[in-house]
Structure 1
Amino acid sequence: MNYQGAGFFPDEVITRILSRLPIKCLFRARAVCKVWRKLLSEDYFVRLYNEASVRDSMVVVEVSESLESVPTFICVDSSRGVSEFSLGFLNDRVKVRASCNGLLCCSSIPDKGVHYVCNPVTREFRLLPRRERPMNRFHPDGEATLVGLACDLCAQTFSVVLAGYHRTFGHRTDGTFICFVYDSESNKWRRIVSFQDDHFTHMNKNQVVFVNGALHWLTGSFSCILVLDLHYDIWRKMSLPEQLSCGSGNRLYLLELDGCLSIIQISEGWLNIWVLKDYEMENWQMVDRVSLRCIRGLVPGIFPISQTSEYLFLASHKQVLVYQRKSRVWKEMYSVKNGSTLPLWFSAHAFRSVILSCK
C-alpha cells in the first residue's frame, strides 16, 4: 500500500490506529516498545485520542445496596457494554458530584468539605485545597447547592465550581448566592458573589453542561438557563426555545451534543432533541423527534444522561437504556439485580475516556 500517495506515512497510520484503541488496550500497548510508550505523552497523540473519545460518550453510575455499603461504580458503553471500575486509588469513601470530559469531581463522605478531581482511567487524582469557609451556615456538612466541573481538553486544565446560598443567622431569606471557583493552574479558589433568585432540583444540579468556556444549569422553574462564564466570572441567563414550556407531563433536561448545548424535551410520549446552533444569537433548532411508545411504562421515571449524534443514554429507577438514533432501536444496557436504595438516575453522569492528567 502506498501510504505516501494517500497522504499518510506508516508512522502516522500506526498513530491513528492507536488513537482509536480503548484506554486499557492503549495502556497495555505501551509495553510493546519505547516509541509507543513515548507516543502516549506527546501532545499530538493526546489531541488525536481525545478528539476520538469525545465522540464516544458513556455513562458512569454509582450503585449502592445501602447507605452504609461501599458504592460500586459501573461504566456503560454503547459498544463495549458494562464494566466495573474502582475509585479505591483515592483511599477514601467518596461520591461523584460532577463529571466533564473524562474527569470526575468527588466529595468525601466521611470528611465533609474534602473534594477530589480524578481521572479513573489513568488513576490520577488531585486533592483540592479546602475553601475559605463552609458554603452555607445552615448546612454544617459544607455541601454546595450546585457543583460543576469544567474540563478544557485543549488547554489540559480544569475548574471546579461550588455554589450555594449564604444566609446570616436570624435571616430566613435565601440571602447572597456565593460561588467558589477552583483553578487547576493556580491551585487556588476564587470567590464570586451574586444575587440569584432561582432554585434547583436534584437533576438540575446533576446535569451541568460545559461548553463555550461556561457552565450551564437549568433552573428549577425551567424558565431559563443559568450560565457561569469562567473567563469573566460573570453569572447571566440564557433563554430557552420559545416553543418550549414546562407544564404537566412536559419535562426538560440539559445535555451536551457534539460540543453544543442541547435540551431534551419529554412530552406526551415523545422525546424532542433541541440544539443551540448559534450560541451568541441563542438560535435553537429541533434536530430529532423520538417516539417513546416502546418504553411507555418507563417514561414517567426516565432521565436522559448522555448523548451523541448516534445514540442517547437514559436511566430509570433500575435500568440504563440506550436509544440508537439511526436505527431507532431501544436496548437495555444494564439492570439492577438487587434492591438499590436510590434510583440509578440519581447518581448517573455522562463520561468519556480521555488522556488528561489531574496532578
Structure 2
Amino acid sequence: MDRGRRLDKFLGMLNNKMYMDLSQIIREHALPFLPAKSLFRFLCVCRDWKLQISTPFFAHNQSICCGSTFGFFSQVPGELPSFISDDPIACGVPDPSLRFLPEPIDILSSSNGLLCCQSKTGNKAYYICNPVTQQWKKLPEPNADHGLHPSVVLIFEPSLLNFEVDYKLVCAFPSADFDDATEFEIYSSKEGSWKVSGEICFTSYSVETKSGVHVNGVVYWKSRGLLAYDLTKDRSQMLRSYHSENGVLGMMNGKLCSAHAIGHSIMVQVLANTHSNTMQMGTRARMWEERDRVVLDKKVIGGLVSELNVVAAAGNKLLVQQPGNLYVYDLLTKETKALGMTSTGRDTRYIPYVNSLVYL
C-alpha cells in the first residue's frame, strides 16, 4: 500500500515536471512565432505567460520570428482604411481605421509590423505607427517636395544584434532642378532627420506611386521598366526589363517577385539575378524566371475564373480580386480562400501587413 502511494506520488511529480517543461518550451520557443492578436489572447493563460509576453525583449524577439504576412490593410481613396485576413481569429488589430492617429491618413507602406502613413491635410506629415500597440511617431518635414502622391517605401528589418527600432523611409520624387530626372530622399530614425541623396536617375519614365518594394537593401519601383535604388551604394538605375504593367511587385523568400493575371491563371516571376541592379543600362540579359503559374480553385470561387487582378503579393501569399470579391492564394499549400465582398474600385490599395508587437 505504501509502495503504491509512493508510486502515485512519483508519477504525479513526473507529470508536473513534464507539464512545466512543456510549458517552458512553448513559452520560449513557440510563442514568439505567433501573431500579435493570438498573443494578446494568451495573456490570460497564466501569470508567467503574461509576464513573458509583456516584456520589451519578447516584443523584439517576436518582431524577428513572426515574419510571415498575416493580413492586408485596404484603403479606398478618400475613405478610412480597413483590415482583412485569411485567419481573423489569429490576426487582427484593435482599430483597423487607425483613428488613434491625430488626423486622417493614407497608408503608404508597411514593413515588418510598422506602417508609414501620410496626413490627408495640412503639410501632409508622415507618421510611423504600429497598429497593434497604437504607438506612433510624427516625422519631421522633408527637405524636398515629394509631390501630392509620394512614392515612399518604409524599411524596417529587426535584428537580434540591434535592440533599437531602426527604420528608414525612402522617397523617389521628380527632380526640381533637372528635367526628366528622379531624385531620392531618405529619412533615418537613427539620425532623426531627412537627407537628400546626391544620386540622380536621369530617365523620362515616371515612377508609379505606391508601387515600391524593398528587397535586400534595394528599393524597386514600377515604371516603364523598374527603377532600382541601392541604399548601401547610394546608386540608382532604370532596368528596362519585362514585367506586366497590370501586375504587382512583392517580396517572396528574399527575392523580388512580380505577379500578374494571364487569362484564367496567374503568373508569378522572381528576379533571377539578385544583383541585377549592377547590370548595364539597356541590358538584354534575362532578369526574370517563372516561379509558379497559379489557377484558383473553382470550387472556392464558384465558377469560371474571369477578370482576375492580382492586387498584392508578399511572403507566399497572393491577394487576387474579381469584381466584388477577394481571394487569397497560398503558394505553399496551394489553397484558395475566399475573403468576402470588397470594393470594386480599381484605385483601392492593398498593403501586406505582419502582425507584430514591435515597440516604437
TM-score (ref. length: structure 2): 0.76
Q: How big is the shift at 1:254?
A: 1.2
1:111 partner amino acid? G
**Structure 2 counterpart of 1:272:** 267
Q: What do residues 254-312 of structure 1 show as CA deviations (whole Å, max 9, x unaligned)?
A: 1111222111143343311112355136864322111369553322xx13303333x32
**Structure 1 counterpart of 2:174:** 165
Q: 1:321 aligns with which of 315, 324, 327?
A: 327
- Are residues 276 and 333 of structure 1, via their aligned partners in 2, closer, same or farther at CA, if it must alter by over 3 Å? same
Once the two structures are superposed, the pairs formed by residues 153-192 of structure 1 within 5 Å of their partners are 153-154=158-159, 155=162, 156-167=165-176, 174-192=179-197
Q: 1:50 aligns with which of 63, 67, 70?
A: 63
**Structure 1 counterpart of 2:336:** 330
Q: Does 1:93 align with 2:104?
A: yes
Q: Does 1:41 align with 2:55?
A: yes
Once the two structures are superposed, the pairs formed by residues 240-259 of structure 1 within 5 Å of their partners are 240=241, 244=242, 246=244, 251-259=246-254
Tell me, yes or no, if the aligned pair for 1:316 and 1:345 is still in contact at 8 Å: no
**Structure 2 counterpart of 1:233:** 234
Q: What do residues 328-348 of structure 1 show as CA deviations (whole Å, max 9, x unaligned)?
A: 453330313xxx6x7265321
Once the two structures are superposed, the pairs formed by residues 36-185 of structure 1 within 5 Å of their partners are 36-41=50-55, 43=57, 45-46=58-59, 48-63=61-76, 67=78, 71-80=79-88, 85-135=96-146, 142-154=147-159, 155=162, 156-167=165-176, 174-185=179-190
Which stretch shows the higher mean deviation, 47-56 or 102-111?
Answer: 47-56
CA distance in 2 between partners of 1:4 and 1:208 (Å): 51
Tell me, yes or no, if the aligned pair for 2:185 and 2:196 is still in contact at 8 Å: yes
CA distance in 2 between partners of 1:353 and 1:174 (Å): 42
**Identity across aligned pairs (percent)?**
20
Tell me, yes or no, if the aligned pair for 1:159 and 1:183 is still in contact at 8 Å: yes
Alignment: residue pair count:
322
Tell me, yes or no, if the aligned pair for 1:89 and 1:123 is still in contact at 8 Å: yes
Tell me, yes or no, if the aligned pair for 1:57 and 1:306 is still in contact at 8 Å: no
Tell me, yes or no, if the aligned pair for 2:311 and 2:319 is still in contact at 8 Å: yes
- Are residues 112 and 296 of structure 1, via their aligned partners in 2, closer, same or farther at CA, if it must alter by over 3 Å? farther
Greater Rg, structure 1 or structure 2? Answer: 2
**Structure 1 counterpart of 2:292:** 288
- Are residues 2 and 265 of structure 1, via their aligned partners in 2, closer, same or farther at CA, if it must alter by over 3 Å? farther
- Are residues 86 and 292 of structure 1, via their aligned partners in 2, closer, same or farther at CA, if it must alter by over 3 Å? closer
- Are residues 11 and 231 of structure 1, via their aligned partners in 2, closer, same or farther at CA, if it must alter by over 3 Å? same
Q: How big is the shift at 1:327?
A: 5.8
Q: 1:212 aligns with which of 216, 219, 224?
A: 216
Tell me, yes or no, if the aligned pair for 2:66 and 2:356 is still in contact at 8 Å: yes
CA RMSD of superposed structures (Å) = 3.4
SS at match of 1:289: strand
Q: Does 1:307 align with 2:307?
A: no
- Are residues 98 and 327 of structure 1, via their aligned partners in 2, closer, same or farther at CA, if it must alter by over 3 Å? closer
CA distance in 2 between partners of 1:3 and 1:213 (Å): 49
Tell me, yes or no, if the aligned pair for 1:323 and 1:330 is still in contact at 8 Å: yes
SS at match of 1:113: coil
Runs of 4+ in 1 over 6 A off after TM superposition: 1-5
User: Unmatched 5+ residue regions in structure 2?
Assistant: 1-13, 278-286, 299-303
Which stretch shows the higher mean deviation, 345-354 or 13-22?
Answer: 13-22
CA distance in 2 between partners of 1:346 and 1:270 (Å): 22
Tell me, yes or no, if the aligned pair for 2:318 and 2:329 is still in contact at 8 Å: yes
Tell me, yes or no, if the aligned pair for 2:220 and 2:228 is still in contact at 8 Å: yes
User: Unmatched 5+ residue regions in structure 1?
Assistant: 136-141
CA distance in 2 between partners of 1:212 and 1:97 (Å): 20
Q: 1:297 aligns with which of 306, 309, 315?
A: 306
SS at match of 1:185: coil
- Are residues 306 and 36 of structure 1, via their aligned partners in 2, closer, same or farther at CA, if it must alter by over 3 Å? same
Which stretch shows the higher mean deviation, 348-357 or 316-325?
Answer: 316-325
**Structure 1 counterpart of 2:27:** 14
SS at match of 1:181: strand
SS at match of 2:27: helix
Tell me, yes or no, if the aligned pair for 2:213 and 2:220 is still in contact at 8 Å: yes
